[in-house]
Every structure is written in C-alpha cells, then in structure tokens.
Amino acid sequence: MSNRSEHLRIVRKAQKKIPWISQVIEKADVALDLSPSIEFVDRSSGGSQCHYCKGSRLLCGKSSCPLLARIYAYLRTKPLFEGEEISGSTPPGVFVGRIGYPYVYAGPMVPPIFGDTEVMDLPEFWFGKSMSEILDLRFKMVRGSFRVDVKKPEGSGRMLDETRELTLLSSPTDTHLVLASKPHHTFLLGSQEQPMGPSAKIKKMDVGSSGKTDRRIEKAYYDSDLKAADAVRNLYGEKVPVSKIQRAFSMGVFGVRDQRKLVPTRWSITAVDSLLSQHMMHEIRDFPAINEYRLYESTYLDNRFEILMMPEAWKYESMEAWYPGTIWNPTVSQIFMLSDWEPYHGRASYAGMGGCYYAARLAVNEKLQAEKRQAAVLVLREAHPDYIMPVGVWQVRENVRNALKGSPLIFNRMGDVTARIKERLDIDLKVWIAHSQLLRDGLTQTKITNFS
C-alpha cells in the first residue's frame, strides 16, 4: 500500500470514529493522535478501573459513577438558586454536552452577579486559587440548556445563535434567562472540563450588548473558507487564551461554513490541546537538542509535578500516580499509576490516560518551541489525598506551565536527576522506573553506577 493510501485510510478511520472533529483530521499523525482506542488496558497490578475511567466511561458497569455520587450528595446540601429566572453577567461562558450525541444540550452559563465576571470561565487565571475558591467561582453559574443537533449549528434558532455569539466576546455581557424550572441541584464534575454549576432548561434568553467583541475570533468566524485547524493555530499565534479557543471551537465557530459542527466541551478541550501540540512538534523535531538534564518542579492543589527534559531527540511521556483516598483511587492501601508515551514520530493511538496527557504535552511543547530546542520530556505527577475532587485538565496544563516558568535544576548526569526526584516524590524511584519507558531508556543509556 502506498504512503498516500495508508495516510487516507488512517484519516478515514479516525473520522468515522470521531466525526465531531472531521475538519481537524487532515494529517495521519493528527488522526492517530486523536482517535480513541476501543480497549483500555489496566497496566497496574491489581488495578482499579477508576483512574482510567475518571467517571466518564463507566467501566465498572454501573449506570453512574459512585465516587462522583458521593460528592454530588454533599453538594446538594449547599444552598442553591431558588428562582426560575436569573440575570447577571456571563463571563462569557458556554457549555456543550455530549450525552445523546449528536442531539445534545448546550447553552450559556450565567451567574447572579453583574460586573467583571471574566475570571469565572478563564482557567489561565486560576492557578494559585484554593479548591474552595475555584468551586465557589464555578458553582455560582447556572448552566442554561436547550437541545440542539450538533451537525446543524447554522439556522437552528435564536438561542443557539446568541449562545454562539457569546464566544466571539472578549468581556462579560449582561444576560437574562427565563428557565423552565428551578436549577437542578446537581453539578458537573469531570476529569476534562472545569466544574460546572446547577442546570436548567431555558424558556427564554436575552443577551445584552455590553460585551466587547474579540476581533480575532470574530475574523475567524466570518472567514467561511478558513479551515478549523488553521483557525485554531492562527488564534493561538495571536495570543488568544487556549480556553477561549476551546470554548469557541465547541460552539462550531470555526471551519468551512457548510461543514461547521458543535463539539462537546469535553472533547473540544482535548482536541485543541492535541492539535496545537502536534503542530509545534513538527517544528520542534528540527531544532537542536538541549545540552543538559533539566528538572522543573511545581506543586498545586496537592498535585506534585516533576518535569524532566533530557538531552535527546523528541520523545514524550506522561505519568500519574494516585494515592489512596484521592477521587480516582478509592482504595485504602494501593497507589495506582498509569502512563502513556510516544516516540520521535508520535503516537499510534489515543492516550488512555485522557486529556491530561495532551494538556501537559501542550505546555512542554510551548517551552521547547519558545527556546527553539528539542528534548525527551517526562512529566511525573503525584496526586495526593487533598486533591478531593476533579477540577479539569487545565490544572495539569497550568501546573506544568508554572513549573516551566521557573529556572530549572541543571544536572550533567542522569543519576543526579533521579536522586533529586527521589527526594521530591514520595513513591519509590524503582516504581516510577518500572512504569516508565523513558526512565528505563535512560537507565540503559547510562552507566548503572550512576543510579546507585
């Protein structure tokens, strides 16, 4: 089979699996990167499925996640919105669900607050906030919803048009919702998206004109010949925050006009992270490798990160370790670990650990591209018990970004690097090595005495 025929086969297969992102899949490496595998293999001894499922795949066979149910039960005791109308300044925020795809619920998120609410839907500015501060920001917003066919974003009604126009704004705008009922006393928590407040179906929606238009996003929206992938890359190059690009992407703002589709928020987050980092990797592979071992560190929300850059050609691995009592590891005694990696030419399947893999990859590629260097990169994450509930993959992206803003620890020998990691992380170094492709490679490429 010719290279072109194989390329087309891979692209068609990926488009069949994930039709919601067909415009982005134009290259075989992107198709392989985003196409989810049907099987999820638990590589941990005696492994729980919770840390792979993260409440989204229901691998345990139950109709809903029992771990999230405990959190929901607690949150239902909190005082919530009691009326059937809500007025306030949307950040702007929008949400597109995935249940029932392609017929899903979408709509704006509105708090009962007027003024500058932009930070409520801008996770790039949340780093350093406590768990309670983040939840307070998010749970103040009501998710208004209406049913929509994701394949027909154009001409689907005034509410969809106005919700989509919110993603063109750069500042909050006053919004009034008349709801079909009081907001449901349930919240949305997931491993990918930010926490979401209570929801209710919308009967009527009025959006004011107080918000300012982001001319960069507006230009991409009105360019009916601009492909979605190009729009995402252009906006990122123009310094539009990743979260705003993801929000607009989910509402079908980008792409050739008659091919535009809504994309569930959960999927749009990973899609944009993957697309941008893939694009950077094509450039990074042409840069010279770094000359030393670099170790960057960050701790936030009881998540410890160690990011190791090694003086080699591009490779990437991300690893997570969940302590007993954390949200995705309900056991009382075992630490569960999972990892995914890719060699120089990239992955051949979707990363089983999900969006965290792509969020961290984007952050490390930003650093390498800025320096015009390449490296083999290993991201180690320990999630400790005070990380009591998921807040979204933004936490991973911003934790890694925070680490890479600082000056790294510089080492000449791999043995010195592993000694530092051993000091910083609680899990025995031998356990990390046993689960890590890149650490094992480092061991075989260096004298074994360096690790004594």
The whole-angstrom separation of Cα 248 and Cα 271 is 12
Tell me the per-residue pLDDT of 290-313, one tens digit each, with 9 for 90 and over. 999 999 999 999 999 999 999 999
The whole-angstrom separation of Cα 186 and Cα 196 is 9
Tell me the per-residue pLDDT of 44-91, one tens digit each, with 9 for 90 and over. 334 456 655 666 666 665 555 645 554 554 455 455 577 899 999 999
Q: Strand pairing of 142-149 and 199-207?
A: parallel
Under 8 Å CB-to-CB from 45, ≥6 apart: which residues?
A: none
Tell which phi-psi region holds residue 302, choosing left (phi > 0), alpha (psi between -120 and 50) or beta: left
> Which amino acid is present at 68?
L
pTM: 0.83
Residue 39, pLDDT above cutoff 50: no
Tell me the per-residue pLDDT of 434-445, one tens digit each, with 9 for 90 and over. 999 999 887 676
Tell me the per-residue pLDDT of 237-258, one tens digit each, with 9 for 90 and over. 999 999 999 999 999 999 998 8
Q: In Å, what is the CA distance from 320 to each residue of 31, 258, 294, 406?
A: 25, 41, 20, 22
282 by Cβ neighbours in 10 Å (0-12 / 13-18 / 19+) ranks as exposed
Residue 344, pLDDT above cutoff 60: yes
Q: What is the pLDDT of residue 306?
A: 97
Q: What is the pLDDT of residue 135?
A: 81
Tell me the per-residue pLDDT of 154-185, one tens digit each, with 9 for 90 and over. 766 899 999 999 999 999 999 999 999 988 76
Q: How many alpha carbons fall within 13 Å on the CB side of residue 384?
A: 11
